[in-house]
A and B are shown apart, each in its own frame.
Chain A
Amino acid sequence: MYLINSFLFCGMICAIAQIILDNTKLTPGHITSIFVVIGAFLDSFSIYDFIIKKVGGGALLPITSFGHSLIHGALQKAESMGIIGIFMGMFDLTATGIVAAILFSFFFYILCKPKN
């Protein structure tokens, strides 16, 4: 069931983004920023946690889960540290993604040459 759900959910988000991209003048940069903000908004009332519980891995892959994990880590830390925890725990869960992206892009920058 997780497999079908993740196919449908991930595909639906990409299709909505494609509709926005085709019918307005927004660039992909605008759309990814908008989707991150939507993900952070959905998790501020723990709707996105519920979606992840229902959908599984398909909800972790779209860029909305980036905003979700930013705010999720911040609130987790704020539980124990108070208001300063929002500053401390912001990167707790997204650190893997950002560090991996920076490291791999640097390695491939050293190894490869641009094609065009």
Chain B
Amino acid sequence: MKIKYYKNLEQIYNSKFFCIVFFFLPILLMVIFMKNISYDEIADKHKAVDNKRNHILWAFISGGLVGFFGEVLIEVLCRYFSYSRNDASSIMIVFFIFCSSCFTALGFFDKLVEKCRCGLLIPITGFAHSMTSSALDYKKEGPIYGIGSNLFRLAGSVILYGIVSAWFFGMIRYLIGGIG
């Protein structure tokens, strides 16, 4: 997609200042935030603080591993099966959705989610996990009133707010005139 003022923006993004603000400031903020938690609640909730820190660490490592394997899969598909990068990324997303629904149906994905909570709920695996788990939970109530009406029970909010916000921001962008 060619955009009129994209080149000017790109110059800003390529500057070192932007990289520092965007990639290193959140990490710094995270460290400061964690320190604040530990100093504030060290008096009576010492164990809870440790749990929180462990949760953050588990989320970071598991989410990072999910992203890492996604990138590995894209590289393998590009290099050895000669897909283009766009096709490889959509195949990668389908593969991850298949894996998470399969693991949810087999039953051990819930334990993994309990262990590293946001690390698996924020990537696209969480989306597929919520759909498959609601499909299996309402299996008793039959094909129409069970799965048919409850499939999007948890994942529907993502689609609803995604579409509303994308329409809203898209209209703003269109009316300002940033489309070439």
Contact = CB atoms under 8 A, between A and B. Distances in A.
Nearest to A59: B67
Contacts of B30: 12, 15-16, 19
Interface string B1-45: 101001001100100000000110011001001000100000000
B159 interface: yes
Contacts of A28: 117-118, 121, 126
Interface in A83-102: 83, 86-87, 90, 96-98, 100-102
Interface residues of B, number: 84
Sort chain A's interface into a size bin.
35 or more
Contact of A44 (B27, B123, B172): B172
Interface string B66-90: 1110111111000000000000011
Interface in A41-92: 41, 43-47, 50-51, 56-63, 65-67, 70-72, 74-76, 78-79, 83, 86-87, 90
A40 B161 CA distance: 10
Contacts of B119: 11, 14, 18
A115 B94 contact: no
A32 B9 contact: no
B122 A114 contact: no
Contact of A61 (B61, B124, B167): B124
A2 B165 CA distance: 29
B136 A112 contact: yes
B6 A46 contact: yes
B122 A35 contact: yes
Q: Is the interface of B mostly helix, strand, loop or mixed?
A: helix
Given A40-B165, A96-B90, A7 B6 contact: no
A35 B124 CA distance: 12
B173 interface: yes
Contact of B155 (A8, A75, A76, A101): A101
Residue among B71, B75, B101 with the highest chain A CB neighbour number at 10 A: B71
Given A57-B74, A108-B136, A114-B137, A74 B170 contact: yes
B71 A2 contact: yes
15 contacts: A3-B71, A6-B67, A14-B60, A22-B52, A23-B52, A29-B154, A31-B118, A44-B169, A58-B68, A63-B126, A78-B179, A79-B1, A86-B170, A96-B94, A112-B106
Interface of B: 1, 3, 6, 9-10, 13, 22-23, 26-27, 30, 33, 37, 52, 55-56, 59-68, 70-75, 89-90, 92-94, 96-98, 101-102, 104-107, 117-119, 121-124, 126-128, 131-132, 135-137, 139, 147, 151, 154-155, 157-159, 161-163, 165-167, 169-174, 178-180
